[in-house]
Amino acid sequence: MNELQRQAYMEAMGVDCYIPRLHLPAAMPSVLCDMPELAEVPVANAEVTEVAVAPLPKGKNGSAAAMQALLGDDEPKKSQPQQSVKAVTEELVQTASATPVPQFTLSIVRGSNILIIDDGLPGHINPNDYLQLLHNIVFALGAGKQQLAIDGFVWPMPGVKNSQFDQSETAARQTLDAFLAKQVDQLKAQYIIVMGEVAKAYITGEEVAKGALHTHPQWQLPLICTNSASPMLNDGSLKRAVWNDLQPLLSLIKSS
């Protein structure tokens, strides 16, 4: 077997290197078994410097002291006291209390096919007179005679402390949207009237002008904005401006 065949055989057997340990009988001496002679190399003189090692402190906490000595810490670090749950809770309460809480009231008036969202009623306004005024407006719009019912949306929610629930501006809008979405779904409303500046700010925002017919993006219903109804009970001259704002809705109801 020549060298090439031997190497191929070794590769096929998965042997990377083959070194014979013994000379086989009648075999040629292998150079792989010959150990080369190494020349002696004089070792260079090296200076040995002694390093002084500080003795480790002894005591009850010998292991901790030894580790501190190795790390170079002269004094053991004191563990930082953890805040109690009560302290953390009080801190969160103070943070929540510092957040400004909006305060507003809205009147939610429901009919058979119309939903009216108005500013909150002042304390001196009679709710029956208020509902009669809205009934006359809805009847004049061509929506027919309807049995109106009024409900109130108050923020912050009565009986709820700031530390218990989120009562921020964002939470107020989200809660109001969920409440009105439920009213629209149960009522099967076809038209929305938003009356008053507070109601307009929370329902449509400042980008929607009064007297312009608008489609609510969430409810997909025609919506129109005008002034609040309660001041008209004290000043009848305000009715003309409200009626002018509602003309686009009047045209829509007549055409449907």
Q: Encoding tokens for residue 67?
A: 């580790």
Q: CA-to-CA distance for 214 and 77, rounded, in angstroms?
A: 67
What would the pLDDT profile of 159-179 be if each residue is shown by its tens digit? 776 566 788 899 999 999 999
Q: What does the block give as tokens for 173?
A: 């809008």
Nearest-angstrom CA–CA distance, 86 and 193? 48
Find the farthest-apart pair of alpha carbons in the chain and give their distance in angstroms, rounded. Answer: 133
Candidates 256, 253, 177, 250; CA nearest to 219 is 177
Mean pLDDT within 180-186? 93
> Who contacts 1 (Cβ-Cβ below 8 Å, separation ≥6)?
9
For residue 95, pLDDT beyond 60: no
How many angstroms separate the CA atoms of 155 and 102, rounded? 7
Rounded mean pLDDT, 98-112 = 89
Q: Quick check: pTM over 0.75?
A: no
Q: Extract the tokens encoding 84.
A: 């109690």
Instruction: Give the amino acid at 223.
Output: L
Predicted pLDDT at 246: 98
Non-local (6+) Cβ contacts of 62 within 8 A are 56
Q: Which residue has the higher pLDDT, 232 or 28?
A: 232
Residue 200: pLDDT band (50, 70, 90) is very high
| CATH architecture under which domain 104-255 falls | 3-Layer(aba) Sandwich (3.40)
Structural domain boundaries in the chain = 104-255
Strand-strand pairing, 104-110 and 114-119 = antiparallel
Contacts of 65 (CB under 8 A, 6+ apart): 56, 57, 59
201-223 residue pLDDT tens: 999 977 789 999 999 999 999 99
Q: SS3 string of 145-159?
A: CCCCEEEEEEECCCC
In the predicted model, is pLDDT for residue 28 greater than 80? no
Helix H segments across 82-226?
A: 85-98, 127-140, 169-187, 197-203
Amino acid 7: pLDDT: 77
Helices and strands, number each (H, E), in the chain = 8, 6
| pLDDT computed for residue 159 by the predictor | 75
Q: What is the pLDDT of residues 216-251, one digit of tens each?
A: 999 999 999 999 999 999 999 999 999 999 999 999
